[in-house]
Structures are given as C-alpha cells and as structure tokens.
Amino acid sequence: MRPVTIDARAVDEAAARLAGVVTRTPLQLNERLSAATGASIWLKREDLQPVRSYKIRGAYNLISQLDDTQRASGVVCASAGNHGQGVAFACARLGIHGRIFVPATTPRQKRARILALGEGRVDLAVTGDTYDDAAAAAWVESGLTGATVVPAFDDARTIVGQGTVAKEIVEQFGRAPDVVIAPVGGGGMIAGCLAYLAERHPDTRVVGAEPAGAASMATALAAGGPVELPHLDTFVDGAAVRRAGDLTYQVVDRHRPSLYPVPEGRICSEMLALYQTEGIVTEPAGALAAAVIGLYQPEPGQDVVVIVSGGNNDVSRYAEIVERSLVYEGRKHYFLVNFPQEPGALRRFLDEVLGPDDDITHFEYVKRSNRETGPALVGIELGDPASFGDLLMKMDASPITFEVVASDSPFYRFLV
C-alpha cells in the first residue's frame, strides 16, 4: 500500500471507501443564524451520522485499510467519546477486536454507546482525567499487544477521512461555498477540509472554532509547533485536547486559517438555541462551530457552511449547560451577602433591592447566634442583563454588606 498523502486525491479515495458506510448528512439552511448575519448560514448535520458524529469517517477509513495480520492483532484507540464510537462501529462492521480508552470526563451516554456500537467486539477502559491521559494508555497497550493504534486526529488516514465532509459539502451545493466553519480540537477535521478545499476550491475560506479553554491549535501556531497547554478546560470534551497533532499542525500551519477561541458559556448558549429553536440536540463540541458566528462576521450574501460535528450529549449535563449560558449572558450572578440577623431582613432585600423580573435561584444562609449579621450565598437571575448596574447600586444603598463572587474566582468552580 502506498503511503497516504494528505491531499485532495486521498480525500477522493477515502470518500469511495466510505460510500455505503457513512450517511450523506443533510445540508440545512438555518434561518436564525442567517437572519442574524445577513449571510446564508447552512448547517452540515454530522450529528446525524450512525454514531452521531463525523468521527466515523476517519476511523472507518483507517481501519478498513488494515491488512490481515493487523486485523488479527486488533486495534486500540483513545477517545473523548465520539472517536471511540466511530472505532466501535468500524470494529463491528469489519469483524475486528478493539480496545478503547476514554478519560473519566467522558459522559456515561458516550461510554454506553461505544459498547452498544461495538456489538461485543470492543472493550472499554476508563483512564485518567483527559484525552491525553487516555492516549498515553492506548500507546502502552499497543506496545504490549501489537494492536494498531487508531489516532483520533493525528494520522493521514484519519485526516483525509474527516476531509470527506468538505468534498460532500461541495457536491451537495453543486459548487464550493464561500466559507466553511469547522470545530477544532486536535485538528483532524479542519486539516482534512483544508487539504481538500485549498487544492480544489482555493477561494473557499476555512474558519476554525476552538474552545477558549482548550485552544491547542492556536497555541501551536503561536509557538511554532505543538506544545502542551498548561491549563485545560475539559467542558467541551469532544474538542478538549492538551496538545494539537503534529500532522494536523503541519497542514494548518501551511494554510493558516482564521482561528477563533469561543468561550464555553457562549457554546452553551448556542446549544440551547439549537435545541429550543431548531430542535437540534448537540454536544458542546457539536455546537462549537455555530457558536463562533458573531465572533466571526461573515459578509452579507455569502454562503457559509457550519459543521455540526456531534450530537452525543448526556441529558444530565443540561443543568450545567443552562447555568454556564446564564452566567455568560450576564443573567446569573452570585454574591456573598451579610444580612442583619433580625426579622424581615430578607423581605426588605426582596422588596427594596431586586427588580420585578429578578429571581433568587440559589440561597444558602448560615445563622450564628453570637453575631449581628449572618452570611448567605445568594444566586440572582436577572430579567435583563443590562440591569446589573442598577442591582449593584440598590445593594450599595441598602444596609447589607456584600461581595460579588467573580467568575474567575476559584470559589466559582463550586457553583458552576
């Protein structure tokens, strides 16, 4: 087998290999985002793949090319959840045994789906707290057993498999769109799209969206090569990678797409908008590309394709998603308040400080008999984010003393 190069021809070959295996997912005009921008915003619904993410493309493209000896030895991979589902699907379809390592942050829903899609041909191992911990364990396992490692992003076969999304978009449009917006974790999707579009449709602009708390690719570009992030926010679990891939970095560095860091709270707001307006269930990484709209402003009249990369969200996470969204939008605030320990203190606070559309959503009070005041942790949801200044002025004018719990405070992590 000739070495796989990361180019448009390899993407074409991968697309032929995947024919009849992956779903040609819909390309849907989104009226909400289009109205907000003046451009035509199209959603490429990779959340509708059999494994509910695009990861099936790269995983199947790689595993299907293994020879008989490699198939007999099985495969191993590390995954935050979606890649593992793609590997599991391929193992079941091709009759190969797989062992899949996931970090402890992987939602239970994704773990259960990995095992279900594997149809008895995969084992699951929960290892470490991050994708990178799981990846290290997968390489150790490969050394011990001879199993082939199936990288989530840093392999030419994986990259060109993911790049078939770009080829499919062009075929569905009948021409190349003006802009393609891709989510960025380790870089497999954006590298595959760049390799295909830069060669076949160089006028199409590729934009990357990274989680602000896990911007490994932008960090690599600034450093001149992949480096480990000193701090990693794992909330966007499908794109929280401490170090960008070596191969993916080379492709991204060659083409230099625009990369935007997207705050996690903004991603949550977009997840809720997609669910409430369009009825689309996404995971945080799945809404990442759509959430960059507004940070990246397309030109009016342009055709812009946003890749909705995955829909494997655990319903138990929605409370946190709503909380992060409210905080990001300035609707939710926390305070440490010292109330006078006297009858009617809370009633006066409600009547004199809160606005008519404001609501107390969190209240923890500690009464101490030997003090004149009692501390309380108070969460307030505002009817209008712009009224925050008025709330602070009313609190200043009241007899209470208070302290705002800043969102960058270590204490804040116990609340959100």
DSSP string, 353-387: TS-TT-EEEEEEE---TT-SEEEEEEEEE-SSGGG
The DSSP H or E segment spanning 320 is helix 318-328
Residue 368, pLDDT score? 60
How far from the centroid of its chain's Cα atoms is residue 292's Cα? Answer: 12
pTM exceeds 0.95, yes or no: no
Helix, strand or coil, per DSSP, at residue 74: coil
d(Cα 133, Cα 114) in Å, to the nearest integer?
19
Q: Are 10 and 4 in contact (CB under 8 A)?
A: yes
Q: Are 238 and 81 in contact (CB under 8 A)?
A: yes
Q: Which amino acid is at 108?
A: R
Residue 279, pLDDT score? 96
d(Cα 55, Cα 116) in Å, to the nearest integer?
16
Residues classed as catalytic: 55, 309
d(Cα 141, Cα 169) in Å, to the nearest integer?
37
- What are the chain's domains? 8-53+156-323 (3.40.50.1100), 56-149 (3.40.50.1100), 330-414 (3.30.70.260)
In 37-97 the beta strands, taken as DSSP E runs, fall at: 40-45, 75-78
Q: Give me 333's structure tokens.
A: 């605030």
d(Cα 249, Cα 223) in Å, to the nearest integer?
11
Q: Are 307 and 46 in contact (CB under 8 A)?
A: yes
pLDDT, block means (10 residues), the chain with 416 residues: 81 97 97 98 97 96 97 95 94 97 88 94 93 91 96 96 98 97 97 98 98 97 97 91 96 97 97 97 97 97 98 88 93 89 82 90 73 81 94 90 82 69
Residues in the chain: 416
Q: Which amino acid is at 402?
A: F
